[in-house]
Structure 1
């Protein structure tokens, strides 16, 4: 999804309202630690001075609002949940930058590159804590949004999704040292990473006081969309958009030997020579650009890109099936289906 994109069903006013709520939540605290967070989120420079906003992907928060809107809830009632999931997403980004030694994100130096890994980990953990605090902001709401049962369910859902992503990250890292990883193992990990979008969809439903069946369907919808996006992120790292070069984050994922569904397919379906050569490459400590070129060449021989794109489409179909199981007016349903495609990329 484009970093400046707004999901169908939301207006530019909705997106502006969300950005203002997110900024107010961070700016309400004075310690320079929060200036580091504001820098990461794109509002200030490294000295904490305001600068033209660096627009970033806000699709997690936007999906909360889109779901709430589709189910007839007031967007204002969903705002603390949207802020919470966006903060959670950025906590994971800060830690990913440290883990993969990314020196840049969104064309700016990362927190760890600017202030060191210790402060980056501290800032990331602080962002995670603030995600949980945002959920408790619902105590100040009126009506069903302030129901302690809904707040408790939202908090449990956030922590469960965080654990799912951590499990996925653990498996990702463990797979780096394995030459052969199966397609289904890669898809399983993608679903764990996709739990963050599952959380986004579910929080939108909680804001709309949806019943348990609808919440389960929303979680399945969001998780399938998130899994599709996760697979696509790896594909775009292997095959950047035409005329574009790999950015720092993409290089970091590949050079750390991050396995993709395309490489898993090639290992499962390639010739013995192909499998042996991929194994030799992935047993290196760190991959260099020539290794990456050789990998993409091998993947072209096994038609692994087309296979991977097919699995992404299957996940979008799975997300659509989850929506079809709910009683949502046709225009809103079509809007969410279009959103799923935009998020998946």
Structure 2
């Protein structure tokens, strides 16, 4: 069997079922709520600005696919895990609607964001609706034969994760006005913003399969480590990613003064280089290309780039270790797709 060459190749066999499941729970554009549901269809890439059906750019659906990979590896039929996969993807999309408002982002996936078209109040409301729909999708597990106690446990973990997700976003926004953010504070923040949702996605498959607590925790830790590695890799790509692959200029995160892990590691380095970088970040005027080059050079000189790369590789290795432990108990077939995912993510360039 030929192994998938890209993340999209790996996820592609899952996407039609994921999309169909999401559409089952998101109401059609009709009736009294047509305008609000039209906004959701637009955000999800199913409609254009006039709410006409259209194929627009969507997310990769990696989080939803992770639910299915975990469940199917443990012998759960796909249809039994699809409500949870849809719930994870829908709540991720809810978080993007609110992120766009909170960050002031005017575009997502090369299209205007919801708030720029219909205003902040309506976008908040649409996001709230999607949050509720995601919970309704999760309770759809009961309709496909998942035992009630597993559905309740899944809902409990889902709600815990939402609180952690909001806490991570709170920390992220608080960091915007601070120049004294530490690397440890940043690690805690990304655990909430990225790690917990991937941890939930992996764990939900194990919950549906009825695994005991210790084994469910291994799946959760696998997803959390994967999320940490993924975010640090994003940080590195945001500084040194190739423009033709990321679609953004080299050093784009410096221009936006993002406090990513390599930047914070450099700022924590003793000596004049860190102070020079701090001064660039404190400047109120836009940074020039020369400023960006200087900042990138400082991050390299302090060893922060290599340190961040080492953390990323360590997190991927820890994720693989969790899979090794699962394989001992349930066989290599249980984690085969998850291993493919880890290895493809390690080599992504966008």
Name the TM-score, length of structure 2 as normaliser: 0.87
Residues 145-197 of structure 1, C-alpha deviations (whole Å, 9 max, x = no match): 1x221111111111111111222222222222222333222222222221000
Structure 2 CA distance for aligned equivalents of residues 223 and 72 of structure 1: 23
Written as runs of structure 1 = structure 2, the 5 A alignment for 1:1-345 is: 5-7=8-10, 12=13, 14-28=14-28, 30=30, 31-142=34-145, 145=146, 147-193=147-193, 194-244=195-245, 247=248, 257-269=257-269, 272-284=271-283, 288=287, 290=289, 291-326=291-326, 327-343=329-345, 345=348
Give unmatched runs, 5+ long, in structure 1.
none
Structure 1 CA distance for aligned equivalents of residues 98 and 231 of structure 2: 17
3-state SS of 1:5 partner: helix
CA contact (8 A) 1:73 1:208 kept: yes
3-state SS of 1:325 partner: helix
Structure 1 stretch 321-330 or stretch 26-35: which is displaced more?
26-35
Measured on the aligned residues, the alpha-carbon RMSD in Å equals: 2.5
Structure 2 CA distance for aligned equivalents of residues 202 and 308 of structure 1: 27
Structure 1 stretch 296-305 or stretch 306-315: which is displaced more?
296-305
CA offset at residue 288 of structure 1?
4.2
Q: 1:215 to 1:23 in 2, by over 3 A?
A: same
Structure 2 CA distance for aligned equivalents of residues 331 and 287 of structure 1: 52
Residues 206-243 of structure 1, C-alpha deviations (whole Å, 9 max, x = no match): 12122211111111000111111122222222223253
Structure 2 CA distance for aligned equivalents of residues 268 and 204 of structure 1: 39
Figure out how many residues of one structure are paired with residues of the other and give that number.
335
Q: 1:60 to 1:171 in 2, by over 3 A?
A: same
CA offset at residue 44 of structure 1?
1.0
Name the TM-score, length of structure 1 as normaliser: 0.88
Structure 1 CA distance for aligned equivalents of residues 15 and 176 of structure 2: 38
Structure 1 stretch 303-312 or stretch 83-92: which is displaced more?
303-312
CA offset at residue 275 of structure 1?
1.6
Q: 1:243 to 1:41 in 2, by over 3 A?
A: same
Structure 1 CA distance for aligned equivalents of residues 66 and 160 of structure 2: 18
Structure 2 CA distance for aligned equivalents of residues 103 and 173 of structure 1: 17
3-state SS of 2:234 partner: helix
CA offset at residue 29 of structure 1?
6.0
Structure 1 stretch 46-55 or stretch 154-163: which is displaced more?
46-55
Give unmatched runs, 5+ long, in structure 2.
none
CA contact (8 A) 2:66 2:201 kept: yes
